[in-house]
């Protein structure tokens, strides 16, 4: 047997392990100190009441022969696919039910979807800083990888035409991608692409025949009018984009697991319809998401469910505001926080990301995530998450201000 040698090209993912080790060592040496955790990318508030009720009802359904469900449609139950299509409709995006695929979450899809693109012949463009799964999944699948780095000078907003670097050892001069990863609102930077900026990517992808993998995992945090929640709000996207979304951050489903993927009927390459290919893929490689979870997810899209999840999101947004206020008062530059649960800070005084981590942990017991873990252009930056408790976030913000006020 020959193993997939692409795995040799993966870098050790030491980011979160390293953070955990450093925090553990600090806590052992300082057992009396409370640590303020702003590093987590996981939600902390419980599921909305409407979701919990729907889950209970679905468990009860499974207890009786008349309402029992066995295998579900591999692409998703009609009731949930319709509810998701209805959610898009409210934003003016028309989707047919069979353009929506229910998944167990965005991570699963970001890896699996690469099955649609020719093995050994696909060039992936990753806009950085980036959620690490894009790079790792592309490496595992043996893709040629290009990176496009953003920075403070462009507000961490990637645009076509910006310089592209070769990540793999390809000698090819042709820097045209087949697949483009875009995440808006972005993890880790919290930056967003407005309508015009996203339209430039759609125009570019259509002109070179690339497919955009649009990660909309944080769309529910968007509050500015001019920021699209879905790439399908942009004209022309139906022939060049796949959208991957998740209920993890929208509705606290990180441990419950449900997401969805949209593949328009018009999306074709070489006469092959990607939607049909994905149906074939799903009916082969999964037996779908459980009935109980899909009923819980359906409740997210009801009026009452929406209202309740918005209340949770409002708590995280208040946390982000509190952090931004402290950074503003201390005169520290950052992006994000407004349309996303992440605040991306430029490390003050020329500190490197890990130096900043050590300083914050040792001096004020605040834990965040070093930007260097999200690609080399993340060096010198630091991610704060707003998923912590309001009390801890407020105290952490106060300590950050006290440490760096001029
Ligand atoms: N995409 C982004 C940008 C994320 O930050 C995350 C999780 O943190 C995911 C996808 C994965 O989401 P899920 O929990 O649905 O797998």
Give the domain extent around 26: 14-43+305-404
**Residues contacting 53, CB < 8 A, separation 6+:** 299
Rounded average pLDDT over 174-184: 96
Per-residue confidence (pLDDT) for residue 11, from 0 to 100: 83
What are the structure tokens assigned to 349, written together?
Answer: 């005084």
> Is the distance from CB of 209 to CB of 242 less than 8 angstroms?
no
Share of residues in the chain with pLDDT > 70 (%): 100
Per-residue confidence (pLDDT) for residue 16, from 0 to 100: 85
Pair (225, 353) in one structural domain: no
Pair (293, 253) in one structural domain: yes
Pair (271, 392) in one structural domain: no
Pairing of strands 334-336, 164-166: unpaired
Omega before residue 347 within 30° of 0, cis: no
Pair (39, 57) in one structural domain: no
Ligand 1 atom 1, closest CA: 217
Any atom of ligand 1 within 6 Å of the Cβ of 256: no
The CATH number of the domain holding residue 181 is: 3.40.640.10
Q: State how far the Cα of 63 lies from the Cα of 67, in Å rounded to an integer.
A: 8
Q: What is the pLDDT of residues 360-377, one digit of tens each?
A: 999 999 999 999 999 999
390-404 helix and 303-330 helix, angle to the nearest 10 degrees? 20
In the numeric block, the tokens 């040496």 are attached to: 29
Cα(324) to ligand 1 centroid in Å equals 23
In the numeric block, the tokens 């907003």 are attached to: 157
Pair (146, 26) in one structural domain: no
Q: What is the value of pTM for the model shown? A: 0.97
pLDDT of 170 > 90? The answer is no
What are the structure tokens assigned to 231, written together?
Answer: 């790439």
Mean pLDDT of the chain: 96
In a domain, 2, yes or no: no
pLDDT of 12 > 80? The answer is no
In a domain, 7, yes or no: no
From 132, 248, 342, 374, mutation site for ligand 1 pocket: most ligand atoms within 8 A of C-beta? 248
In terms of phi and psi (left: phi > 0; alpha: psi -120 to 50; beta: otherwise), the region of 257 is left
Pair (283, 371) in one structural domain: no
Atom of ligand 1 nearest to the CA of 247: 15
Pair (117, 72) in one structural domain: yes
In a domain, 5, yes or no: no
Any atom of ligand 1 within 6 Å of the Cβ of 215: yes
Pair (24, 97) in one structural domain: no
Cα(216) to ligand 1 centroid in Å equals 9
Pair (260, 328) in one structural domain: no
Pair (234, 367) in one structural domain: no
In a domain, 83, yes or no: yes
Rounded average pLDDT over 6-30: 90
In a domain, 105, yes or no: yes
What are the structure tokens assigned to 274, written together?
Answer: 């990607």
Pair (85, 18) in one structural domain: no
Per-residue confidence (pLDDT) for residue 81, from 0 to 100: 98
321: exposed, middle or buried (Cβ count in 10 Å: 0-12, 13-18, 19+): middle
Q: State how far the Cα of 358 lies from the Cα of 33, in Å rounded to an integer.
A: 15
The CATH number of the domain holding residue 330 is: 3.90.1150.10
Per-residue confidence (pLDDT) for residue 171, from 0 to 100: 80
Atom of ligand 1 nearest to the CA of 103: 15
Any atom of ligand 1 within 6 Å of the Cβ of 254: yes
In the numeric block, the tokens 């003016």 are attached to: 92
């Amino acid at each position: 047997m020959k193993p997939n040698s692409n795995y040799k090209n993966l870098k050790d993912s030491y980011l979160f392990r390293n953070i955990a080790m450093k925090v553990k060592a600090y806590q052992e040496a300082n057992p009396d100190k409370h640590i303020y955790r702003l590093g987590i990318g996981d939600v902390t508030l419980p599921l909305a009441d409407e979701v919990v009720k729907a889950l209970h009802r679905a468990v009860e359904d499974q207890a009786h022969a008349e309402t029992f469900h066995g295998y579900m449609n591999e692409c998703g139950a009609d009731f949930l696919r319709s509810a998701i299509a209805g959610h898009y409709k409210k934003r003016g995006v028309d989707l047919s039910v069979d353009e929506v695929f229910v998944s167990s979450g965005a991570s699963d899809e970001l890896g699996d979807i690469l099955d649609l693109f020719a093995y050994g012949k696909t060039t992936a463009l990753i806009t950085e800083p980036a959620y690490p799964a894009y790079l790792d999944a592309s490496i595992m699948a043996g893709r040629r990888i290009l990176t496009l780095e953003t920075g403070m000078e462009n507000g961490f907003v990637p645009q076509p035409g910006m310089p592209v670097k070769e990540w793999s050892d390809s000698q090819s001069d042709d820097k045209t991608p087949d697949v483009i990863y875009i995440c808006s609102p972005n993890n880790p930077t919290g930056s967003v692409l407005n309508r015009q900026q996203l339209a430039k990517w759609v125009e570019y992808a259509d002109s070179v025949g690339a497919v955009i993998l649009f990660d909309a995992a944080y769309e529910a945090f968007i509050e500015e009018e001019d920021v699209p929640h879905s790439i399908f709000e942009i004209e022309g996207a139906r022939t060049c984009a796949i959208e991957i979304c998740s209920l993890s951050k929208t509705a606290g489903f990180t441990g419950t697991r449900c997401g969805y993927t949209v593949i328009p009927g018009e999306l074709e390459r070489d006469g092959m319809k990607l939607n049909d290919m994905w149906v074939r893929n799903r009916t082969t490689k999964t037996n779908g998401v459980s009935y109980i979870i899909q009923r819980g997810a359906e409740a997210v899209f009801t009026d009452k469910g929406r209202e309740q999840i918005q209340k949770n999101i409002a708590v995280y947004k208040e946390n982000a505001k509190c952090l931004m206020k402290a950074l503003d008062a201390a005169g520290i530059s950052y992006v994000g926080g407004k349309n996303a649960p992440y605040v991306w800070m430029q490390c003050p005084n020329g500190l490197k990301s890990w130096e900043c981590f050590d300083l914050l942990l040792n001096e004020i017991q605040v834990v965040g995530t070093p930007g260097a873990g999200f690609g080399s252009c993340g060096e010198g930056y630091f991610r704060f998450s707003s998923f912590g408790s309001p009390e801890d976030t407020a105290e952490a913000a106060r300590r950050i201000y006290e440490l760096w006020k001029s």
